[in-house]
Amino acid sequence: TQSTWGTRSQQRRLWRRWELVVLMQRYLLVIQYMGTAFIGWQRQRSRNYESVQGVIEAAVKQFIGSEVSVVVSSRTDAGVNALRNTAHIDLIRTDKMGAVLPPLPPQAVRAALNNNLLEHPVAISDVYPVSPDFSARFCATKRRYVYRVETGCQVWRHAVFSRGRSWMMKETLDVSAMKAACEVFIGRHDFTAFRSSRCQAKSPVKRIQTLRIEEVTACFPGLCSSSATSHQVLHIVTEAPSFLYNQVRLIVATLVAVGRGQMTVEDVKHILHTRQRSKVPALAPAEGLYLDNVMYEAKWFKHLPAHEFDLLEFADRIDLTLDVEDDQSSTDNNTDNSTDNSTDN
């Protein structure tokens, strides 16, 4: 029989489509990985090399039995590490007969994916349910990178535990001069001189919100001899809404050149203003770079079921600016929103 909704067969197909859309759950994944084991984040056609995206998508397929695309906030380059990269996936839970079931709790998704990732230096540290209009790539408001440098104490030769995790060098650096050079980059500038020739961004103009140098203690201080006082561990921290391809590593290379006395702060100003790429030092090694965090507006996380999601705990982990409301009903039986953004370095 025919109705305003079509034939019964058409109605059944329409109902099935609606059922899949309504019961599909989008999850935000918080991911950490050692980039030295991969050719980068992005999946490659060649099966001879592993990508982070490839192993995570394989873990999801092993979990639910079907292909699922993982949409990342920040596409890291080969060798670049991540402490908290983010991505989203869409999962539909069905039984053996194909009937759609309610979504799995995020804890079950995290446990299943981590079990399938045991052979790789990748882990899902957190999973959160988000609304269907959340995008890990386009909803991110800020990204934070940390570059780790270790100098002195002959770490470039002997520090086994720092290999592949830091830029190691023999000489110590003039940290005061490096801090002065940091001020040159802060703000909105044309970073033509500080991007790769392969960068596909339409505009070279970016806004650096934070660029600072932190002097920290070594992870394994006992590995340096007690007589060695020149050992330095520096964290170069930078934050921006997005970055150009290789921008962070070129800025780090320039700061290190200043620390070595090979360049002055005035030289840095001249390069930035004249946009002379040829004057910028060679790219800093990838293994010292860490994607430290990806940040989102709190609005995407205000309406999550209280029994599934601890908003305050999440804000503490992922740097949300909270605007907590007194209306307790906003945390009861509502869907949640989240989004993500991506950048290349």
Active site residues: 77
Cβ atoms of 283 and 197 within 8 Å: the answer is no
Please report how the helices 265-274 and 175-185 are oriented relative to each other, as an axis angle in degrees rounded to 10: 20
**Which CA distances in Å does 104 have to 19, 41, 96?**
16, 26, 16
* Token output for 135: 């995008």
Residues 12, 133, 291, 127, CA torsion sign: negative
Q: 309: burial class by Cβ within 10 Å (0-12, 13-18, 19+)?
A: middle
Residues 150, 165, 79, 181, CA torsion sign: negative
* Token output for 263: 């360049």
Q: Which residue, chain included where needed, has tokens 């790789």?
A: 120
Cβ atoms of 283 and 249 within 8 Å: the answer is yes
Cβ atoms of 72 and 86 within 8 Å: the answer is yes
* Token output for 341: 């953004």
CA distance 192 to 147: 21
Cβ atoms of 24 and 10 within 8 Å: the answer is no
Q: Give residue 203's region: left, alpha or beta (phi > 0; psi -120 to 50).
A: beta
E strand segments, the chain: 25-33, 71-72, 81-91, 93-94, 100-101, 122-130, 140-151, 167-169, 187-190, 205-208, 210-215, 232-240, 289-296
